[in-house]
Structure formats: C-alpha cells, structure tokens
C-alpha cells in the first residue's frame, strides 16, 4: 500500500474544507498546479504550513478570497493566439451565419479579455446583433472585472497588435474609450454579453449553444474532471455545434471523443456529431 505524504494530505484536507465551507470545488484540479499555488500563498502570507492556511480560510473570508484568486487561473489577453481568431473569423463564423440567432458560451472567461475579442469579431462580421454571449467563471472577483471591461492602457498596444494579426479590419481604438490610465470597452459590445458565476466542476449545462469556447482551462484539471467538463460542453451544444479548446488541450482521451470530429485541428476546434 502506498501512503500519501503529509503535505499531500494537508492539501487534500484544505481543498475539502474549501468545498464544504464555500462551495468551490478544486479537488480534481491538477495536483501539481494546485500545490504550487497553495505553497506560494502560505509563503507569501508568512504561514508555517498548509494546515495553517486551512484554519485561516475557515475563519477569515477575506483571506479566502485572496487564496481564491491564486487557485483560479487568470492568465489571459485580448486576441490571445491570433491564429485562433483568424480561424474563428474564416471557418467558424460562416457556419454561425446560417443560424437565425447565435448563442455562445465562454466558459472560464477569467477577466473577460477573450470575451470582448469574440464580441469584436462578431461585430465586424455583422453577427453581434443576433448573438448572445454567456461569459462564466468560478471566481466572482475576476468576473466583476470582466463585467466592468476596464483594462490597463499599457496593455492596449499588445492587444492592438494581436487584433491586427487576427484579421481585424477596423481601428482597434473604435472599441474602447481611453480614460486616464485605463481603456474602457465599448457599451455596444457589453450589451450582448451576460456575465454569470459558474463552476465547471459542479454546475450544470448551458443549453442550446451554437459555440462553446473554453481555452486554456482544461489543462489545469485532472483527467476525471476534464472528461466531466467535456461531457458538460457536449450536452450544452446543439447538433453540429462547435467547441473551441486551447492549443495544448484535446478531447482525444475523453469518453466523449467519438461524439465530436476535428473541425480545425491546429486551432483545436471540434464539431459535435452526435
């Protein structure tokens, strides 16, 4: 019999405590990623060990929100991987144009940069007025930032370059208002986006979606949770609906692999077939 290390037991108990106390389920996230983030926080907080974090999160809600930011993966940018957005524009949107109304689910939307990227492309292709984007994340703090749509102005140069590489055919400055050191996304984009808290590990489907986008989230889950989430996406999509994953992600080893076909292999876009 192989026994767990004390540190691994502490982490397992901490994740169980978070789930029981606050309802956030990180128990099937990648162990290596979770361990790294927890150890970063207890070192930063000057705590002696992981058990001390467990005590603190049970009695200090503010500290828990800090830890939640560590555990939630919030690395994103506008038009991240421009080649993906070229494929979205050239391969996916022609299919979406055949529908009278379009429903899109951005799962694990973080602080919203990729949601606004999608909205901009939809607008340029004449689809935004008949589209509704559901943008969800487990973390209410980053979700609030996404809803506000306010980003540091010093990031706009990089975002503009990404936009141009992704096939953007307008002036990127048309989509935001610069104010002091911030860029505020245009209201014409926001009115087609619904922001909502959603936990991929425990919550249910978003029905009748034409497109589901969940890029660079599954890599932080273990195989069991990955399979559960892909099943969630499958059940959320209409027949022939499209699923977009991150460049290092795949449905190949999921039990739902036979329910999809590769639509654009390089960009990791799949189409539901049954």
Could you tell me the two tokens for 116?
């606004």
Distance in angstroms (rounded) separating the CA atoms of residues 63 and 42: 11
How confident is the model over 162-179, as pLDDT tens digits?
A: 999 999 989 999 999 999
In this prediction, residues 29-54 reach a mean pLDDT of: 85
Could you tell me the two tokens for 155?
């990031």
More confident residue, 35 or 174: 174
Distance in angstroms (rounded) separating the CA atoms of residues 165 and 176: 18
Nearest Cα neighbor of 189 from 137, 133, 242, 139 is 133
pLDDT of residue 220: 81
pLDDT of residue 216: 87
In this prediction, residues 97-112 reach a mean pLDDT of: 95
- φ and ψ at 2, to 5 degrees? -95, 125
pLDDT of residue 271: 97
More confident residue, 74 or 1: 74
In this prediction, residues 177-204 reach a mean pLDDT of: 94
- Model confidence band, residue 45 (pLDDT cutoffs 50, 70, 90): confident
Could you tell me the two tokens for 195?
């922001």
Residue that is written with structure tokens 């029981």 in the block: 20
pLDDT of residue 1: 43
pLDDT of residue 2: 53
Distance in angstroms (rounded) separating the CA atoms of residues 200 and 216: 14
Could you tell me the two tokens for 58?
């049970």
Contacts of 1 (CB under 8 A, 6+ apart): none
pLDDT above 90 (res 181)? yes
Residue that is written with structure tokens 């070192």 in the block: 43
How confident is the model over 198-220, as pLDDT tens digits?
A: 999 889 888 899 999 999 888 88
The mean predicted confidence, pLDDT, of the chain is 91
Highest mean pLDDT among 34-38, 132-136, 176-180: 132-136
- Model confidence band, residue 74 (pLDDT cutoffs 50, 70, 90): low
Nearest Cα neighbor of 9 from 40, 61, 54, 43 is 54
pLDDT of residue 115: 97
How confident is the model over 245-273, as pLDDT tens digits?
A: 998 898 987 889 999 999 999 999 999 99
Indicate the domain borders of the chain. 6-71, 82-272
Bridge partners, residue 136, by sequence: 107, 196
CATH superfamily of 82-272: Vaccinia Virus protein VP39 (3.40.50.150)
Nearest Cα neighbor of 196 from 141, 134, 131 is 134
């Amino acid at each position: 019999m192989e026994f767990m290390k004390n540190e691994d037991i502490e982490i397992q108990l901490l994740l169980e405590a978070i789930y029981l106390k606050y309802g956030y389920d990180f128990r099937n996230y990648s162990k290596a990623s979770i361990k790294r983030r927890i150890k970063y926080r207890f070192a930063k907080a000057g705590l002696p060990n992981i058990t001390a974090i467990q005590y603190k999160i049970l009695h200090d809600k503010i500290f828990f929100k800090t830890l939640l930011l560590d555990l939630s993966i919030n690395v994103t940018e506008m038009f991240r991987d421009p080649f993906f957005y070229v494929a979205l524009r050239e391969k996916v949107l022609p299919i979406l144009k055949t529908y009278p109304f379009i429903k899109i689910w951005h799962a694990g939307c973080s602080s919203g940069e990729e949601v606004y990227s999608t909205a901009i492309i939809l607008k340029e292709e004449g689809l935004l007025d008949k589209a509704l984007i559901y943008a969800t994340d487990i973390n209410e703090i980053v979700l609030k930032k996404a809803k506000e749509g306010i980003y540091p102005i010093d990031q706009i140069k990089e975002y503009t370059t990404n936009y141009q590489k992704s096939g953007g055919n307008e002036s990127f400055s048309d989509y935001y208002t610069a104010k002091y050191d911030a860029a505020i996304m245009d209201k014409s984009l926001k009115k087609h986006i619904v922001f909502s808290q959603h936990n991929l590990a425990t919550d249910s489907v978003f029905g009748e979606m034409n497109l589901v986008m969940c890029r660079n989230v599954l890599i932080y889950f273990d195989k069991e949770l990955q399979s559960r989430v892909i099943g969630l996406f499958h059940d959320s999509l209409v027949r022939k609906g499209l699923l977009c994953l991150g460049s290092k992600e795949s449905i190949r080893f999921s039990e739902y692999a036979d329910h999809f076909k590769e639509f654009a292999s390089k960009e990791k876009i799949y189409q539901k077939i049954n």
